[in-house]
Structures are given as C-alpha cells and as structure tokens.
C-alpha cells in the first residue's frame, strides 16, 4: 500500500523550509526526511516553505528542483507552498510591532566594526556588543546621511552575553532570516521545527521573537538534526559540489537506495540498509526513534 498521511493529530504542524539557493545535497535531504518523519509519525501536518527572501542568493529554477527532489523521495506536504518573497507585508507588520515595544534601533556597524569590538578584551566572539544601542537622535541622523542602517532588536540582559542584539532588517532593506522565519512559523501554526544543527544558535533568538510577537502562544518545539559530513569529513554545502539528489537520479540511483543511505547515515537502524521504500520505512520506525536522533534547543 502506498503511504497515505493519517492526520490523527492535525494540531501538530511540522515544516521544511529550504532556501532555493542551489540543488539539495544529501544532508539537506536527510534533514527534510527527518522533519517529515517527525511530523507524519505523529499524524501531523507537514508544510514546505521556500525561504527565497535573500534574492541575490536565489538561484533560478532551484525552488522547483527542490520540490521535484522531495516528491521523488516520496515526501509529501499539505497545502500550497509558501514563498517568503510574497509575504513581506507580514514581516513589515511584525517589525512595526517590535518597534512599538521600543525594542528596535538602527545600527551602522560594519562586519569589521563588530569583529574588532568583539575581539576586544571583554568582547565575545560572534556576539554584537551593543555599540549602536544608545546613539542619540542627532547622531543617528548624522550617520544616516552616509550609510543606511540595519535594524537590531534589543535582547534582555540574560541573552546579551550569548547572543547579543540581532539584526531583524538588513541594511540592504531585506528582512533578516530570524524575523521572517519566526513570523512565518507563527503565522503558519508550526509546532515542530526540525532543522539542521547549523541553526542551533538561531533558536534562542526565534524563541525570544516568538514570545514578543505572540506571547500567549505555546512554545514551538525546536529540534536539530546532525549535519551530514562528506567523505573527507567536511560539512556538506550546496556550493562545494556535494552530490545532489538530482545528480544521483541522473546517474541512475533510485529513491529507495537514497532513502537507505539517508537512514543508514542517520543511524536509525542498527544495521546498514541498501534499499528501503518509504512505506516500509514509515512502518518500521516510530517517533521515539526519530526524536532520539534530534537534539532539542540547548
């Protein structure tokens, strides 16, 4: 019997949110598979959202290719695909709400300024030290003559050392990833976020943003999938030519073989598999086994 979603718990909503910046590599696909299994094994919904806000990085045709790859692997989704580039009104509204809370400020720092400040004796690598937090109105006006600022969100004192005030609107006027993702996850009713461990540092920021934007809503369950390494032990990346599903398919590989590779490298079964159909996979695993491979927010 081909796999049929059960929707026993439609209040559970999982998602996969790829950036259409190139072909999915096996690491991306493994994360998509784990996110899908995590939602479907609970009888939940699964949605796909294209994170195509960062237009200069978007590759023409990539979004369609990603959808073809997911379909080919057998991963289905509910409802229409949402494209972030069509939702900027929502992000704008959220930005105004955050500003109304008195939590936003313009930041003129360059990447280099931040690096220098963070490497000072009391600085904290990778954490914005709050340089522009208390600029006067006249100073902002003066600086704005030469440079468009980014907009940062103030974080509470307990987050200052670990995360620092972060950008929600970039200086090139694109909404930042943190803001757009959180607005979408809230608006789309997402309850389970399963994504790559490379995004683990983003999670506290998004928890904070979600609490500001929708304080009464229950907390999203954030889980992180281990990153897949290539045969040289390096993290896979879309840019370095890591093998893509498209390439695999063109070389005559089957989806059952690729599924077997993904579940084997994820350590889902004791023994390595050569081949497994999605229907068999969903029969043979349970939610505990999948959740056991994912790390919650630390």
Task: Give least dist CB 198 to ligand GLU, A.
Answer: 7
Q: Which is nearer to ligand GLU, 256 or 293 (CB)?
A: 293
Q: Which is nearer to ligand GLU, 17 or 291 (CB)?
A: 17
Minimum distance from residue 102 beta carbon to ligand GLU (Å): 27
Least distance (Å) from ligand GLU to the CB of residue 171? 21
Q: Which is nearer to ligand GLU, 155 or 181 (CB)?
A: 181
User: Which one, 22 or 74, has the nearer CB to ligand GLU?
Assistant: 22
Cβ(130)–Cβ(160) below 8 Å: yes
Q: How far is the CB of 293 from ligand GLU (least distance, A)?
A: 17
Give the shortest CB-253-to-ligand GLU separation in angstroms.
23
Distance CA 114, CA 263 (A): 41
Which residues bind to ligand GLU, rule: CB under 6 A? 17-19, 51, 181, 195, 199
Q: Whose CA is closest to 184, among 209, 201, 164, 167?
A: 209
DSSP states along the chain = -------S-TT-EEEE----SS--BHHHHHHHHHHHHHHHTTT-EEEEEE----GGG--TTHHHHHHHHHHHHT---SSPPEEGGG-HHHHHHHHHHHHHTT-EEEE---HHHHHHHHTSTT--TTS---TTTT--HHHHHHHHTT-PPEEEE---HHHHTTT-SEEEE-TTSPBPHHHHHHHHHHHTT--EEEEEGGGGGGHHHHHHHHHHH-TTSPPPEEEEEPPPB-TTSPBP-TTTTPPBHHHHHHTT--HHHHHHHHHHHTT-SSS--S---HHHHHHH--HHHHHTTSEE--
Minimum gap (Å) between residue 159 Cβ and ligand GLU: 19
Residue 240 or 279: the one with the smaller Cβ distance to ligand GLU is: 240
Q: Residue 38 or 195: which CB sits closer to ligand GLU?
A: 195
Question: Shortest distance, CB of residue 202 to ligand GLU, whole angstroms?
Answer: 7
Instruction: Pick the closer one to ligand GLU by CB: 107 or 190.
Output: 190
């Amino acid at each position: 019997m081909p796999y049929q979603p059960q929707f026993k718990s439609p209040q559970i909503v999982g998602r996969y949110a790829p950036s259409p910046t190139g072909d999915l590599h096996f690491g991306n696909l493994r994360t998509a598979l784990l996110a899908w299994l995590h939602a479907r094994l609970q009888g939940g919904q699964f949605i796909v959202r294209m994170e195509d806000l960062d237009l200069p990085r978007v590759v023409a045709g990539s979004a369609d290719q990603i959808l073809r790859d997911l379909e080919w692997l057998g991963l289905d989704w509910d409802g229409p695909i949402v494209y972030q580039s069509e939702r900027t009104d929502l992000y704008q509204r959220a930005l105004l709400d955050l500003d109304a809370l008195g939590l936003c400020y313009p930041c003129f720092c360059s990447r280099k300024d931040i690096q220098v400040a963070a490497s000072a004796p009391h600085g904290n690598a990778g954490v914005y030290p709050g340089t522009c937090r208390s600029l006067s109105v006249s100073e902002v006006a003066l600086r704005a003559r030469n440079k468009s600022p980014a907009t940062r969100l103030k974080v509470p004192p307990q987050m200052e050392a670990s995360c620092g005030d972060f950008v929600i609107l970039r200086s090139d006027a694109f909404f930042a990833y943190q803001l757009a993702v959180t607005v979408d996850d809230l608006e789309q009713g997402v309850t389970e976020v399963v994504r790559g461990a490379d995004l683990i540092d983003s999670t506290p920021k998004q928890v904070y943003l979600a609490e500001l934007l929708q304080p009464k809503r229950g907390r999203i369950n954030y889980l992180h999938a281990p990153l897949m390494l290539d045969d040289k032990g390096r993290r896979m990346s879309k840019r370095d030519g890591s093998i893509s599903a498209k390439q695999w398919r063109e070389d005559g590989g089957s989806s059952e073989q690729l599924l077997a590779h993904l579940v084997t490298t994820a350590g889902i079964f004791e023994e390595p598999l050569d081949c497994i159909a999605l229907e068999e996979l969903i029969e043979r695993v349970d939610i505990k086994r999948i959740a056991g491979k994912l790390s919650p927010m630390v």
